[in-house]
Amino acid sequence: LDTPAEAGFDDLVALASQCCAAPIALLTILTPDRQWFKARVGLAEREVPIGDSICALGIDAPDLFVIPDLAADPRTADMALVGRATGARFYAGAPLRDPSGAVLGSLCVLDTAPRPAGLDPQQATALRRLARQAAAQLELRRLLHERDDPVAPSGAAMAADAPDLLSITERHWRELFEKLSEGFVVGELIRDAGGRTVDWRYLDVNAAWSGLLGLPADEAIGRTVREVLPDTEQRWIDEVASVCDTGLPRTFVRSIGRLRRDYEGHAFQLDGDRFAMIFVEVTDRLHAARRLEALLTLGDRLREADSIAEMTRTAARIVGETLNAKRAGFGRIDLAAETIEMEPDWTVAGVGSIAGTHRFADYG
């Protein structure tokens, strides 16, 4: 309790915030009279009275403790964090357990809007794993404290074992890094003589990164993003650079044309020109949204059309643009004559039209 901030715990709450897309994340320690925040993102307070502790309500929960709408729940509606103008409306917390199973506190995330569906499965899994890492860090601190306690009978042995304890913690972090279902990147900016960011280098990537991009990790680590993905735009590099230049995290949606995939993620500064990025693939979700938007647009435009020719041209354009095609059109098949009559079609620049009559025989 009441110890200074530590980078290891600060990183955990930053990761929890990013993984769960939540503006507030806290690593809390519970006592009989207060809830103290060992690390926090998005909240100024360092502690609250135990009577205002949402985490305390879930102390007996065997797994995640979730309240979809804090303002609608009578247990939390009058709490200080909920009642303010920009107060918390959603809560999800994973317990921090010591080796005996006792709950010390929680790693939790809060949102300023209700979430009726709670966390998605990936977010829930990430929060559990991060909570386990936080508990391991706390246990390490306890062991190191016992080592330094002059009344501890095995102080010399504990001192000798300290490197082993740190090695265990490093293995915990590596296991977390590799088991995340989200892609995770640690990178470092590359600047020119004038200080402008011109590229960035992969320092580390996890297994999920390889799966999401379809590229082996050893083809990335130590290389730059322009070497791995040659069509990377300067705008994307500038967006990543702004995270280190401002110290502010950024959420992004990015298409990689070479892979024909879309990704959504969060980037945040580690220190100096080093940053971390966590992301998931959203290709199917974005394509579904585009198709729905296209259907709505198509319905509106067809109602406005004055002729069949205008309807087919409009429909061809919307379908072609939605599917990223080079040509789209509509035709009428005459089986008796073995021909197809193509209406005026839509094409991208440089692609010729195929409007007109075509015989089956001309195409084998």
Residue 86: Cβ-neighbour burial (10 angstroms; 0-12, 13-18, 19+) = exposed
Sheet containing strand 47-49, edge to edge, reads 47-49, 34-41, 24-30, 103-111, 90-97, 65-67
For every residue of 90-140, DSSP letters joined together read EEEEEEEE-TTS-EEEEEEEEESS--TT-S-HHHHHHHHHHHHHHHHHHHH
Residue 205 has φ and ψ, to the nearest 5°, of -140, 155
The pTM score is 0.47
Parallel/antiparallel/unpaired status of strands 65-67 and 90-97 = antiparallel
Buried-state track 320-332, b at ≥16 Cβ within 10 A, e below 16 = bebeeeeebbbbe
183-281 has the same fold as 7-177: yes
- What is the second-level CATH architecture of the domain 285-363? 2-Layer Sandwich (3.30)
Lowest-pLDDT range of 15-24, 220-229, 311-320: 311-320
* CATH 1.10.3720.10 holds for 7-177: no
pLDDT for the residue numbered 154:
43
Amino acid at residue number 274: R
The predicted-structure confidence for 244-294, as pLDDT tens digits, reads as follows: 888 887 777 777 766 677 788 778 887 889 888 888 777 677 667 777 777
The whole-number pLDDT of residue 68 equals 96
The backbone region for 95, taken as left when phi is positive above 0, alpha when psi lies in -120 to 50, beta otherwise, is: beta
Answer yes or no: is pLDDT of 161 > 50. Answer: no
* Contact assessment for residue 197 and residue 274, using Cβ atoms and an 8 Å cutoff: no
> pLDDT tens across 334-348, in order?
999 899 998 888 898
- In whole angstroms, give the CA distance from residue 108 to residue 130: 10
* Segments making up each domain of the chain, as ranges: 7-177, 183-281, 285-363
CATH number for domain 183-281, candidates 3.40.50.720, 3.30.450.20, 3.40.50.11290, 1.10.260.30: 3.30.450.20
pLDDT of residue 20: 92
Q: What contacts 128, CB < 8 A, 6 or more positions away? A: 63, 64, 94
Q: Which two tokens stand for residue 348?
A: 């991208």
